[in-house]
């Protein structure tokens, strides 16, 4: 038996024991009574079967058959794909996220002063046009669902936020609470909301956010003294002076949100500008054309701890969440789906997120077993790259499911029965064209030879 495959199976059993999965399936009302389908093998068959390159409920049916050596009707599999299954998958995602957060080592370098660093993002999955009513997309002929996630740099894993239609703005899905305490939150413009920045501050958190190129806070203080004949920013609105500035950085305190109808605004914030050539960040194209050469940021980090260029470097790490999004799409098939029902769409999306979390957990356990650097084939645990690891978990998921079934005493039947039984036509009354023509009873009133194709055997 492959040693690492055996270890991975053990780790999956430790992470999600069969009894716990079954009990939680009952708690979410997915299982209301004793049913023919076993919740534990169904859970893993669904998670693996929907995240393959040919992911489908038919694949789930085949994997369940192989796992348990029990036949189950396709309609029975369909009946389990409900809002209750979505709830179960979301709860398990939350559980694994907590496990990852509890076991990861502390952040280092510029991030070491923070309990965690959170980065929000969303990704759109293209759906069948028939799903437009539940999941309207970006155009009149496009249907799409959007998965909203928050990446934790401490756990190196995504945390589930919500699933919406593609038209829902990201900024409406991020609720600030005490979870941001002592943590840094990195925002791009899709999440920029002045009141949200103030809420992070009130909850004891830190933030670095991009500002729109046309943001126009009133500068109330300059945090850096310039020598010579320079333009004084204090008392001016930023857009009034930006076109005339040639300094490499701007570091000031400004008032934002003075024109907003919000009880927590206006709000005084540190406003930073870094000229393009000095900014390490690779930014998306702005919707508004700028008449200046600065990337603008808002932050509540102190000037004596983080210089402007350091803030730009911190913000550039926001793009780490893009690797998670790419992993969801390219490895676990979240780019496009053929399922149509709302519950099926949500369940498939949750399964993709769950696979990323499972992969991160298994990678954590593999690294722990490898220990420090050695002269073995894997010389250093940090050389195992997360996305490459996920690709191989996905590639060998059938073997992983087999070892899990064998360790738990299920009668793993392999692919043989799934191939043969899956090829049997479930419509027992349907006959092949040749059979109908050879043995069907011919109605004497038939005048068109093409109608023979519809004749049933007599």
Contact 254, 272 (CB under 8 A): no
Q: What is the pLDDT of residue 143?
A: 96
Q: 413 versus 399: which is more confidently predicted?
A: 399
From CA 81, how far away is CA 355, in angstroms rounded?
17
pLDDT of 87 higher than 50: yes
- What separation in angstroms does the CA of 346 have from each of 41, 135, 341, 418? 20, 11, 9, 26
CB atoms within 10 A of CB 92: 21
CB atoms within 10 A of CB 328: 24
User: Across-strand partners of 208?
Assistant: 186, 299
Which position has the token pair 């980065």?
119
From CA 236, how far away is CA 220, in angstroms rounded?
8
425 inside domain? no
3-state DSSP assignment of residue 283:
coil
In total, the chain counts a number of residues equal to 458
3-state DSSP assignment of residue 286:
coil
366 inside domain? yes
Q: What is the pLDDT of residue 290?
A: 59
Q: Looking at the structure, do residues 100 and 232 belong to the same domain, yes or no?
A: yes
426 inside domain? no
61 inside domain? yes
Handedness of CA 393, 398, 402, 404 (dihedral sign): positive
What token pair was written down for 393? 């978990």
386 inside domain? yes
187 inside domain? yes
Say how many domains are in the chain: 3
pTM: 0.84
Q: Looking at the structure, do residues 219 and 232 belong to the same domain, yes or no?
A: yes
330 inside domain? no
- Percent of the chain exceeding pLDDT 90 equals 64
For residue 122, name the pLDDT band (cuts at 50, 70, 90).
Answer: very high
Last residue of a domain, one of 324, 352, 375: 324
Domain extent, residue 226, equals 92-324
Contact 271, 217 (CB under 8 A): yes
Q: Looking at the structure, do residues 342 and 293 belong to the same domain, yes or no?
A: no
Q: Looking at the structure, do residues 21 and 142 belong to the same domain, yes or no?
A: no
Q: Looking at the structure, do residues 142 and 265 belong to the same domain, yes or no?
A: yes
Last residue of a domain, one of 273, 297, 324: 324
Q: Looking at the structure, do residues 358 and 394 belong to the same domain, yes or no?
A: yes
Residue 373 CB-half CA count within 13 A: 3
From CA 184, how far away is CA 383, in angstroms rounded?
27
Q: What is the pLDDT of residue 429?
A: 54
Q: What is the pLDDT of residue 276?
A: 79
Closest CA to 390 of 51, 50, 18, 14: 51
Q: Looking at the structure, do residues 273 and 303 belong to the same domain, yes or no?
A: yes
pLDDT of 278 higher than 50: no
Last residue of a domain, one of 302, 324, 346: 324
Q: Looking at the structure, do residues 23 and 135 belong to the same domain, yes or no?
A: no
Assign residue 221 the CATH number of its domain: 3.90.350.10
From CA 161, how far away is CA 333, in angstroms rounded?
19
Q: Looking at the structure, do residues 376 and 285 belong to the same domain, yes or no?
A: no
Closest CA to 16 of 24, 5, 4: 24
Contact 80, 30 (CB under 8 A): yes
Q: What is the pLDDT of residue 450?
A: 53
Q: Looking at the structure, do residues 145 and 228 belong to the same domain, yes or no?
A: yes
What token pair was written down for 286? 């702005």
From CA 448, how far away is CA 377, in angstroms rounded?
72
Which range (49-53, 150-154, 278-282, 443-447) has the least confidence? 278-282
**What does the pLDDT look like over 324-369, one tens digit per residue?**
999 999 999 999 999 999 999 999 999 999 999 999 999 999 988 8
From CA 129, how far away is CA 140, in angstroms rounded?
10
From CA 11, how far away is CA 313, in angstroms rounded?
37
For residue 378, name the pLDDT band (cuts at 50, 70, 90).
Answer: very low
Handedness of CA 216, 222, 223, 229 (dihedral sign): positive
From CA 158, how far away is CA 178, in angstroms rounded?
18
291 inside domain? yes
**What does the pLDDT look like over 123-182, one tens digit per residue?**
999 999 999 999 999 988 899 999 999 999 988 889 999 999 999 998 899 999 999 999
Q: Looking at the structure, do residues 349 and 224 belong to the same domain, yes or no?
A: no
Q: Looking at the structure, do residues 220 and 171 belong to the same domain, yes or no?
A: yes
Q: What is the pLDDT of residue 295?
A: 93
Residues 6+ apart with CB under 8 A from 126: 137, 142, 143, 144, 335, 336, 337
């Amino acid at each position: 038996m492959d040693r690492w495959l055996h270890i991975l199976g053990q780790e999956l059993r430790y992470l999600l024991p069969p009894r716990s999965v079954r009990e939680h399936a009952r708690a979410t009302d997915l299982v209301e009574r004793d049913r023919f389908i076993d919740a534990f093998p169904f859970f893993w068959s669904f998670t693996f079967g929907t995240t393959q390159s040919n992911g489908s409920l038919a694949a789930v049916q085949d994997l369940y058959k192989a796992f348990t050596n029990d036949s189950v009707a396709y309609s029975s599999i369909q009946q389990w794909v409900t809002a209750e299954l979505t709830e179960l998958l979301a709860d398990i995602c939350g559980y694994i996220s907590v496990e990852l957060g509890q076991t990861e080592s502390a952040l280092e370098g510029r991030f070491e002063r923070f309990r965690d660093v959170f980065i929000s993002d969303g990704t759109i999955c293209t759906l069948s046009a028939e799903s437009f009513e539940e999941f309207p997309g970006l155009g009149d002929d496009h249907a799409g669902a959007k998965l909203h996630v928050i990446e934790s740099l401490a756990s190196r894993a995504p945390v589930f936020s919500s699933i919406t239609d593609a038209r829902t703005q990201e900024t409406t899905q991020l609720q600030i609470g005490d979870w941001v305490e002592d943590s840094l939150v990195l925002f791009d413009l899709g999440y920029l909301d002045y009141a949200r920045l103030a809420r992070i501050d009130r909850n004891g958190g830190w933030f670095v956010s991009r500002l729109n190129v046309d943001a126009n806070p009133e500068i109330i203080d300059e945090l850096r003294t310039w020598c010579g004949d320079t333009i004084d920013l204090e008392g001016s609105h930023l857009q009034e002076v930006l076109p005339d500035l040639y300094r490499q950085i701007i570091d000031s305190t400004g008032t934002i949100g003075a024109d907003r109808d919000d009880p927590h605004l206006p709000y005084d914030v540190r406003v930073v500008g870094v000229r393009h050539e000095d900014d390490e960040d690779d930014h998306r194209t702005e919707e508004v054309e700028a008449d200046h050469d600065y990337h603008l940021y808002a932050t509540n980090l102190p000037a004596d701890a983080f210089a402007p260029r350091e803030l730009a470097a911190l913000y550039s790490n926001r793009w780490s969440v893009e690797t998670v999004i790419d992993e969801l799409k390219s490895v676990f098939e979240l780019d496009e789906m053929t399922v149509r029902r709302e519950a099926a769409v949500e369940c498939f999306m949750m399964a993709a997120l769950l696979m990323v979390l499972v992969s991160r957990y298994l990678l954590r356990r593999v690294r722990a077993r490898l220990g420090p650097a050695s002269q073995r084939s894997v010389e250093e645990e940090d050389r195992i790259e997360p996305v490459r690891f996920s690709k191989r978990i996905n590639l060998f998921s059938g073997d992983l499911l087999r070892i899990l079934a064998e360790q738990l005493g299920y009668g793993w039947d392999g692919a043989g029965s799934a191939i043969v039984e899956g090829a049997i036509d479930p419509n027992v009354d349907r006959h092949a064209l040749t059979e109908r023509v050879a043995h069907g009873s011919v109605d004497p009133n038939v005048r068109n030879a093409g109608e023979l194709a519809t004749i049933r055997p007599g």
